[in-house]
């Protein structure tokens, strides 16, 4: 496999975007939102990030949009649920960017 092939470069950028998305999503979500709302926001953010990524690369088309968005969302959720969340890496960002005070905190 040649790492300069367009598909390899796309895969590398998708992996990088997937790694960054949990931090970006933690800025957007609020701790008092339910899990369904948080996942929906994460999905929409991943689709938006994919559109930006593909636009920059000049590959924004149906052939690339769906699989890349799916890979970005899946990768970001796996990283969030099995790495970032257990280590508590995104919780401080989410708490700092809350628009309303946490009702569980008192």
pLDDT of residue 5: 62
34-53 residues labelled b (16+ CB within 10 A) or e (exposed): eeeebeeebbebbbebbeeb
Q: What is the pLDDT of residue 94?
A: 85
* Phi, psi angles (nearest 5°) of residue 58: 70, 30
Block means of pLDDT (10 residues each) for the chain, length 106 residues?
65 93 93 92 97 93 94 96 93 84 52
Which pLDDT does position 100 carry in this prediction?
66
């Amino acid at each position: 496999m040649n790492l300069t092939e367009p598909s390899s470069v796309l895969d590398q950028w998708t992996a990088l975007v997937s790694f960054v998305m949990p931090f970006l999503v933690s800025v957007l979500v609020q701790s008092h939102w339910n899990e369904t709302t948080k996942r929906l926001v994460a999905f929409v953010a991943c689709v938006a990030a994919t559109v930006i990524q593909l636009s920059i690369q000049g590959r924004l088309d149906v052939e690339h949009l769906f699989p890349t968005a799916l890979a970005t969302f899946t990768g970001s959720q796996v990283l969030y649920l099995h790495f970032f969340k257990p280590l508590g890496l995104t919780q401080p960002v989410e708490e700092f960017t809350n628009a309303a005070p946490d009702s569980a905190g008192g």
